[in-house]
Structures are given as structure tokens and as C-alpha cells.
Structure 1
Amino acid sequence: MGEATVEVEVVYAAIDRQALRSVTVAPGTTIRAALLASGIGQVFPEVDLAECPVGIFGKVIADPDTRPVQPGDRIEIYRPLLADPKEVRRLRAAKAAEAKARKQ
């Protein structure tokens, strides 16, 4: 009988394209090691897989260098935000208030 394996998905979305890769790794493989094995680094060479923040199904993983993957994990690679969401909301509210003041 063959050695047991774990299948996970690795996903990354850049501004202009995205990639989803299925990866089969040995049990006990860390999240960071699965990222490196996925080949995403060749598709997106601008992403530093050794340092980038990652999560599983939307939950940030504090230490991907020690946490082992689980069967069915969807490892997400996060990129920096282009704009601070709080600042965007503040600007939108200020613009709406200004438009309302002009109408009066």
C-alpha cells in the first residue's frame, strides 16, 4: 500500500490574474512548504513565498512555518491592500456630505 498523502489547494489573486493549484504533500508538511511546492512562485515571481502572509479559508495563520497542512485546506496567499478600507470609507462619507451640503 502506498504512503499516505495530503491534498490541499493553494490560491493567489494578483490585480490582473489569479491561480489555483492543487498540491499533494506528505503528512506533516508545513503550510509554508506546501506553498513552495505548489509552483505559485514561478507563476508570480513578485510574491515572496518565504515571507508573505497566508491564511486558510479566510483565517490568517500566525506561523505557517510550523503549522502542518490538513486534508482539504485551501491555503490563501495575501497581498498588501492597495487602499486602507477605513480611509476609503471616510473619503466616501466626506464626499457624500459635501454633495448633500451643495444640494441645500
Structure 2
Amino acid sequence: MQITLVYSPAPREVIEVSLRVGEGCTAQAALNEAGWGTKCPDTGTHALTLGVWGRRIGPAHVLREGDRLEVYRALRVDPKVARRERFMGQGARGTGLFAKRKAGSKAGY
């Protein structure tokens, strides 16, 4: 059966490999068969997060014909922390629903 392996090592950079695997192949077996550790050595340093067509799966997931196996890289910064830091830099006046008020109007309108 034919599957596609996809990995993005950096923003705007994608490695895509088409692979023919046997019936009943798991996600981990497909990565091993493709030699993923040598093509993308930075993926071997930590536990991989895998997905098929955007849905998270485990390494024991059995693949089907036409699946797109995606390898996700770890986040560098927690999104909540990044948003909090952006807010602190902007200050309370420049953000929120009522940041753009008409001149001479009341607060909140």
C-alpha cells in the first residue's frame, strides 16, 4: 500500500516522502522502513508526536492505503506563555475589544 511521510524541520520547509509498505504496517514500522532516523536526525532525540491527516495517533496505529503520516516537531514556547508575553509588551490600552475608539466617544463604545 502507498503512504506519504511528511515532516517540517523548520518553518516553510517540508520533507515529503512517498513510501510503499506492507498491509498492516504500523506508524513506527513505516518510520523505521523509511530510514527516518538518518533523513531527519533531529527527530530521534525526543519522543515523536505522530498524526494521520491532522489527527493525533500513537506509534502502534495501523496505517491504511493513502494515509498521510505526519511527524510533528515539539513546540519551543507554550502558546499561553507567548500570548501573555505579547500582551505585557503591548500594554492594556492597545489591546482588547475596545482598543480602537472614535475620538470623543465614551469608554466601551
TM-score, normalised relative to structure 1: 0.77
Kept in 2, the 8 Å contact 1:22–1:38? The answer is no
Correspondences of 1:1-104 after superposition (within 5 Å)? 6-15=1-10, 17-48=13-44, 51-61=47-57, 63-65=58-60, 67-97=61-91, 100=94
Of structures 1 and 2, the larger Rg is shown by 2
Aligned residue pairs, count:
93
The CA distance in 2 between the partners of 1:49 and 1:22, in whole Å, is 24
Q: Which amino acid in structure 1 is aligned with residue 53 of structure 2?
A: F
Q: Percent identity?
A: 31
Kept in 2, the 8 Å contact 1:8–1:71? The answer is yes
Paired residue secondary structure (2:44): coil
Instruction: State which drifts further: 81-90 or 39-48.
Output: 39-48
The CA distance in 2 between the partners of 1:46 and 1:87, in whole Å, is 25
What residue ranges of structure 2 are gaps of 5+ in the alignment? 95-109
Paired residue secondary structure (1:48): helix
1:98 to 1:50, Cα distance in 2 relative to 1, 3 A: closer
Post-superposition Cα deviations, 1:8-65, rounded to whole Å, max 9, x if no partner, equal 101111127431001111110111111111233221122129941111111111x322
Q: Where has structure 1 moved over 3 Å in runs of 4 or more?
A: none
